[in-house]
Every structure is written in C-alpha cells, then in structure tokens.
Structure 1
Amino acid sequence: MLQVLGSAWALLLGLCLLMVGNGLQGTLLGVRGSLEGFSTFEMSIVMSAYFLGFLGGSRLAPEMIRRVGHVRVFAALGSFISAVLILYPAFADPWAWTVGRVIIGFCFSGVYVTAESWLNNAASNENRGKALSLYMMVQMVGIVAAQGVLLLGDPSGFILFIIPSVLVSISFAPILLSISPTPAFESTTPMTLKELFHVSPLSCVGVFLLGGAFSAQFGMAAVYGAQAGLSLTQISIFIATFYIGATVAQYPIGWISDRMDRRRLIMITSIIGGIGAIIGLAVSNQVGLLIAAFLVGGMSNPLYSLLISYANDFLQPEDMASASGGMIFLNGLGAISGPIVTGYIMTVMGPGGFWLFIGVLLFAMAAYALYRMTQRAAPSVEDSASYTPVMMSASPVAVEWAQEWAVEQAESDEEAGNEVTPAS
C-alpha cells in the first residue's frame, strides 16, 4: 500500500481535490436552492441533471480522448467545471442551474475517465488491487471532507462557490505534473443489455434500482436537510455520515460475500438499508437521522460492488469488462430518475418522501433477490469471482479497472488450484 502511495501520491491528491470540489457543489446547491426559494421539485430537476450529464460523459469521453488526447480533454473539461461553479450564484435560476449541472456532470465524468486511466496505467499487476483500494479511500475522504468545507462560509454568498472552483483548478497541477507517458486509451465494447440480463437478471434489476437510491442520497440529501429544518452543521454531518457508513461497511461486506451465496447477502443488506430508511422516516432527532444515514449509506454503497461481483460469477473472465458497460448504463438510467421521483414524492408528502423512496427501492431489491433465489441454484463459493470493490460514482474506467483486478484474482486462484496436488 505504501509503495502505491509513494508512486502515485500526486495523482491521488489531484483526484481527492476533484472529489472535494464535486462533493461540495452538490450539497451547496441543495442548501442554496432552499435559500433562493426554489421548490423541491425544481431542485430535483437540477440534481437529476448531473446524472444525465454524467451518463452522457461516460459514453462520449472515451471518443474525445481518442481524438485529441488525455491532456487536452482533461484541461478543457476542468476549465468548464471551474467556470460553471463560479457562475452558479450569478445566475440563481433553476433552469440555469439545470443546464450547469448537465455540463458539470458531463465534464466530471470525462475528467474521471482521464484521471482514472492515468492512475490505472501507473499501477502494476502486483499492486492493482491496492491501488484500487487507495482510490476508493481517496474518493470517500474527498466527499466527506467536502461536507466540512461547507461550514467555512455563508451559503448565501459567493465564497463557497469559489472554493470548489479553486480546488478543481488546483487539482490539475499534481495530476498533470506527475504524468509520465500518456497511456494508450482503449475501451471495451459493451455487452448488450439483453445478453447481460440473460446472464444475471438480479444484477441488472439491482443496479437500476440502486442508481435511483444512490442519486437520491447524493443529490437530494441536502434538499431533505434544508426542508427538514436542519442547520448547516447538521446537514454537513448528516451527508458525511452516508459516506462514512459506506467506508466502514465496504470491506466487511466484501469479505462476507466471498464466503456465502451473494443473493442472500444482497437481500440482507437491502433489508438492513431499508430498515435504516424506515428509521429516518420515523424519527426527527439528529441522532436518529445519523443512524438512518449510516445504515442506508453503509448498505447501499457496497450493494453496487455486490451486484457486479454476482454478475461476474456467471461470466468468463474475458467477458467481465464488457459486462461493466451495460451495468454502468443501467445504473445511470436509474440515477437520472432518482432525484426527480424523490422530489415529486417530497412535494406530495414532505421531507419524509426522501426516506420513503429509498426504502421502497431497497425493499424491492430484497424481494427480487429472494425471488431469484427460487429460480436457479447459487454458484459454489469456490467457483465465485472475487468481490470487486468500486464506488457508484466511478467512471467506466474505474469499473473496468476493478474488473481487470477481478480477472487477475480469478486467474491467480485458478493457477493456485492447478498447482495443488492430491495427497497420495
């Protein structure tokens, strides 16, 4: 781990600053929108726009990189991000913010594709798993730190919009100055959705439902906090708790998943997350809301990795990377709809609609996992693919990178099995 940190610290620092900038702008808009008098449904459109742009960027960024190269794409998209962040308070209008969120989502997706491909290129076969783990830690640290930065200024002013713009601009320096040769960029042709559904219906349905649950957390948590009457400090702690829960639970759940029927674990984690949503719906005190956020974040984020790993159980190693494209697309479709549906429910029934929507999706996933357990036998634990840790906010590069690591693990396990000779 220290070897990876020593060789790629500049890249990781730049990526951390990017995550701080991105995590801050989402929360800040939720708070500022309430101060500007935007309706809950208007804010849901604004928040949904980010995921529309992100999905578009994940599809188009690879072609942009092939045409003009990593450095130009990174610099151009990063400049747009900085510009839009500064323009938000100057054009306090929900439709202007919606356009800005589409642009920012598209640009962040392209920036992540570029930076992650550099980081993946810097890793070797021996340390790829450790590099992926470090990257996930950096993502979580960046998002959690962003919630602390929110307390450094007045959300009704300009300074909190300038800070993420500066952080994104500064992030270019460690990334661009640390790059040795520009890596060759290759993207895998995605598996069709029909083929992917045939391989694993649970994974397809699960990542779609999870996209809605995650985008509701990422996009609407600050809107919920403002509507529920939480203070700025309480909103900051509340949102950070989702990601702290995800960080704490990711690796224990991964360890368990390699030792039992993953469908059962998907069902259990979905139920626990759904119970967390019920707690959030039932309580109004700060401690209860933090417990709810910890359970929902701690269960829903690792579910993405569980669903990808479960699909891998039925794939040949050479097909894992191509399957990830379809999974990302389905997750993105769910993410686009998540804030809009959440905003509508919150408009009808108040802040509790935030928890109701997330709880319904997680319980629906648990029910479908239980149904799928009646349709076919689980693969043996010995034949299961290794757990693939990855964040739902990752670009296609990071997901394929995680899949590459899973393939390497599968191949090394197969070689180790072939080397074992039976006792005479």
Structure 2
Amino acid sequence: MIEVLRGSWALLLGLTLIMLGNGMQGTLLGIRGGIEGFSPFEMSIVMSSYFVGFLLGSTFTPDLLRNVGHVRVFAALGSMISAVLVLYAVAPHWAAWAVMRVVIGFCFSGVYITSESWLNASSTNETRGQALSAYMMVQMIGIIAAQALMNVADPAGFVLFIIPSILVSVAFTPILLTAGQPPAFDKTKALSFVRLYRASPLGCVGMFLVGGIFAALWGMASVFGTTAGLSVGQISIFVGCIYAGGLVFQFPIGWASDRMDRRVLIMALSVIAAVAMLPAVFLELPFWALLPIAVISGGIANPLYSLLVAYTNDFLDNSDMAAASAGLLFINGLGAIGGPLITGWMMQAMGPGGFFLYIAVLMAMLAAYAGWRMTQRPALSSDQTGAFAPLSPTASALAVEAALGAAQEGGPQDTQHGTNTGPGGAPSAP
C-alpha cells in the first residue's frame, strides 16, 4: 500500500477533493430544493438527471480521450464542473437544475474515467488490487466528509455552492501537475447484452436493481430528510451514515463472499435490507432510530454492487472483461435513472415512507430472483471463483474492468463457464 500511495498520492488527494465536491452537491440540492419549494417529484427529476449525464459520459468520454487527450479533457470537464456548481445558486429552478445535473453527471463520469486510467497505468499487476482499494476508500471518505461541510453555512445562501466549486477546482492542480504519460486507450470488442445475460442472468438483473437502489440512496436521501422535516445537521448525519455503512460493511461481506455461494449471500443480504426498511415505511420514527436503518441500507447496497460484479466475474473469460464491465455499468446506469423518479413519485404519493418502501421492494425483488436462480444453476466451489474486489457504485467501467482482472488473478479458475489463464494487461477503455 505504501508503494501505491507513493506513486499515486497526488491523484488520490485530488480524487478526495473531487468527491468532497460531488458529495456536497447531492445533499445540498436536496436541502435547497425543499427551501425553494420544489416537490419531491420535481427533485426526483433533478436527481435522476445526474445519472442520465453519467451514462452519457461513460459512453462518449473514451472517444474524447482518444481524440483530444487526457489533459485537455480533464481540464475542460473540471472547469465545467466548477461552473455548474456555482450556477445552481444563480438559477434556482428545478428544470434548470435538471439540465445542469445532466451536464455535471457527464463531466464527473469523464473525470472518473480519466482518473482511473491514470491510476491503472501507474499500477502493476501486483499493486492493482491495492490501488483499487485505496481508490474506493478515498471515494467513500470524501463523500462522508462532505456531509460535515454541509453545516458550515446556510444552505439558503451561496457559500455552500461556492465551497464545492473551489474544492473541485483545487483538486485538478495536484493531478495535472504530477500525472505521468497518459495511457493509451484502445477500442474493445463488443459483448452483446444477450451474451452477458447468458453468462450471468443474476449479475445483469441484480445490477439493474442495485442501480435503482443506489441512485435512490445517493440522490434522494437528502430529499427524504427535507420532506421528513429533518434539520440540515440531521440530514448530513443521515446521509453520512449511509456511506459509512457502505465503507465498513464492504470488507466483512467480501470475506464471506469468497467462502460461500455468492447467490446465498446476495439473497440473505437483500432480505435483511428489505426487512430493516419496513419500520420506517409504516412508523414515524425518531431521528436516532433512522440512523441504524441508514447504516444497514448503505452497508448492504454498496457491497451488493461489488458482490454482483464478483459473481458475474466467475463466468467470464479474460478476453470478455473489458466489454463486460462496460455492459454491467450500462445496465446499472439504466436502473439508476429510474431510481430517483420512482422514489420521488412514491414519496409524493405516500410521504417520506415511500423512500424506504421503494428500497424494500427492490431488495425483495433481488432476493426473490437470487433464490430462483439458485434452482437454475449449480453453485461453483470456492476454488472455482475469483476473489471479491471492493468497488464504489460511483466508479466507471474502467475501475470495474480492473477489479475483474485483479479478482481473477486472486482466484485462478478453470471451469466449464470460463478459463482464467493468468494476469492480464493494463485495462483499456470501455
């Protein structure tokens, strides 16, 4: 890990500052939207727009990098992010925010892809897994720390919009001044969704459902807090607990996933999450009772994402990893677009409890599908599966591909479903 930090400290520092800015904007918009009188459904359109932009960015950024170059793309996207973060306060209208969220989602997606390509290029086969772990940790730590910054000024003013703009602007300085030679981006062969689904039906369906769950947690948690009448401090603690749970639970769940049938673990975790949401659906709980529910929701939703990637990886050849990572992220993105929209509609129809009901229903659907899939395919033994690699759902397909490669190196297999022949080369763009 020391070697990873020595070679990538500037990049990781910059990413931490970027995540501080991104983590602030999501929570801040939910609170400011309530102050401006936007309805939960209007705010759901705003929040969903981010994932539209993120999906577009993951599709078009690789071509931009090949045609224009890493440094120019990185600087242009960073400048656009800083500008949009300030424009939120200048144009406080939900429709304008929705357009800005598409733009900023596109830009953040491009920033993640560019950063991850540099991080992968600076890593060796031996250190790539550690680099991915460090990358995941700085992402989660940045988002958690961002919630504390929500309390330094009045969300009805301009200061909380200026702070993330400054953080993002400053973040690009160490990265651009220390980044080495930009890595080459190669086109990858296509992997149809039909082939991906045949390789892992549970991976595809699960990624779609988890995309909807994570988008609701990421985009609508602050909207829930505003609708429920929580204070700014309470909302920041509530959102922070969601991501703290995701950071803490990744590793014990990862340990368990390498030692048992991953479908059983997926089903069990989904049932636990669905049941844990029910008290908040039917009862008006005090604030302190919401915190363990927040920890459980984030602590299960985030590792489920990594768990589904690991499960899909068990049925992939090395040559399919790049295309499969892009396909999985696209499926996840489609689910993410609908997540805030449905949550906002449910909250408008039945109040704050709709937030938890939506999560409970999707978790129950995932548990039911995982249980059914257990009757359709025999379980692989632990020596036939790759290792679990912790990932953040905010990562791009490049990080997912790198995680697939690192996981397969950690668990060589030779099964009827896929053959891992050894360490692969540096990841290429989706």
Report if the CA contact (8 A) 2:386-2:413 is conserved: no
Go from structure 1 to structure 2 and tell me whether the alpha carbon gap of 1:25 and 1:187 turns closer, same or farther (over 3 Å shift): farther
Whole-angstrom CA distance in 1 between matches of 2:369 and 2:94: 37
In 2, the alpha carbon distance for the partners of 1:387 and 1:322 equals 19
Where in structure 2 are the equivalents of 1:244-263 lying within 5 Å? 244-263=244-263
Aligned length: 416
Select between 378-387 and 51-60 the one with higher mean Cα deviation.
378-387
Tell me how far apart the structure 1 counterparts of residues 214 and 167 of structure 2 sit (CA, whole Å): 25
Show structure 1 runs of 5+ residues with no match.
Answer: 417-424
AA paired with 1:153? A
Tell me what 1:284 maps to: 285
**Which AA in structure 1 matches 2:336?**
A
The C-alpha deviation readout for 1:218-252, integer Å capped at 9, x for no partner, is 00000000000111100000000011001111011
Does structure 2 conserve the Cα–Cα contact (< 8 Å) formed by 1:47 and 1:339? Answer: yes
Deviation at 1:89, TM superposition (A): 0.9
What is residue 419 of structure 1 aligned with on the other side? none
1:286-328 residue CA offsets vs partner (Å, 9 max, x unmatched): 2210010001100111001111111111122222232111110
The equivalent residue for 2:270 is 270
Counterpart of 1:136 in structure 2 is 136
Distance in 2, matches of 1:412 and 1:271, equals: 30
User: CA offset at residue 284 of structure 1?
Assistant: 1.6
Contact 1:150 1:236 (8 Å CA) reproduced: yes
The SS at the match of 1:394 is coil
Deviation of 1:95 after TM superposition, in Å, equals 0.6
Q: In the alignment, does 2:130 pair up with 1:148?
A: no
Q: Deviations over 1:23-46 (max 9, x none)?
A: 100100000000000111100000
Partner SS, residue 154 of structure 2: coil
* Aligned-partner Cα distance in 2 for 1:371–1:325: 26
Q: Which amino acid aligns with 1:340?
A: L
Residue of structure 2 in register with 1:391 after alignment? 392
Q: Which amino acid aligns with 2:11?
A: L
Separation in structure 1 between the aligned mates of residue 360 and residue 320 of structure 2, nearest angstrom: 33
SS, match of residue 125 in structure 1: coil
**What is residue 41 of structure 2 aligned with on the other side?**
41
Judging changes above 3 Å, is the alpha-carbon distance between structure 1 residues 283 and 265 closer, same or farther for their aligned structure 2 residues? Answer: farther
Q: Deviations for 1:186-214, whole angstroms, at most 9, x for unmatched residues?
A: 35334211111111111111000111000
Query: In structure 2, how many angstroms separate the alpha carbons of the residues matched to 1:70 and 1:334?
Result: 29
CA distance in 2, matches of 1:415, 1:347: 52
Q: Which amino acid aligns with 1:309?
A: A
Partners of 1:78 and 1:135 in 2: how far apart? 19
Deviates more, 1:395-404 or 1:210-219: 395-404
Secondary structure of the residue aligned to 2:25 is helix
- Name the CA shift for 1:270/1:83 in 2 (closer, same or farther; >3 Å): same
3-state SS of 2:150 partner: helix
Give 1:60-209 correspondences, 5 Å limit: 60-209=60-209
**Aligned partner of 2:200: which letter?**
S
Q: CA deviation at 1:411?
A: 4.5
Over aligned residue pairs, what C-alpha RMSD do you find?
1.4
Quote the residue 2:25 is aligned against: 25
Cα displacement string for residues 24-81 of structure 1 (whole angstroms, at most 9, x for unaligned residues):
0010000000000011110000000000000000000000000000000000111111
What is the distance in 2 between the residues matched to 1:324 and 1:117?
14
Would you identify which runs of 4 or more consecutive aligned residues in structure 1 move more than 6 Å? 412-416
- Partner SS, residue 360 of structure 1: helix
Q: CA deviation at 1:117?
A: 0.7
Gaps of 5+ in 2: 415-419, 423-430
In 2, the alpha carbon distance for the partners of 1:92 and 1:30 equals 12
Q: In the alignment, which residue of structure 2 is the partner of 1:421? A: none
| Residues 26 and 246 (structure 1), Cα distance of their counterparts in 2 relative to 1, 3 Å cut | same
Amino acid at match of 1:310: Y
The 1:190–1:143 alpha-carbon spacing in structure 2 relative to 1, beyond 3 Å, is: farther
Secondary structure at the aligned position of 1:82 is classed as helix
Deviating more after overlay: 120-129 vs 18-27: 120-129
TM-score normalised per structure 2:
0.94
Question: 2:182 corresponds to which letter in structure 1?
Answer: T
Superimposed CA distance per residue, residues 115-166 of structure 1 (whole angstroms, 9 cap, x where no aligned partner): 1111111111111111111111100110001100111111000000000000
Distance 2:375 2:147 in 1: 43
Q: Which amino acid aligns with 1:308?
A: V
Whether contact under 8 Å (1:190, 1:325) holds in the other structure is no
Letter in 2 for 1:370: G
Mean Cα deviation higher: 96-105 or 267-276:
267-276
Report the counterpart of residue 225 of structure 1 in structure 2: 225
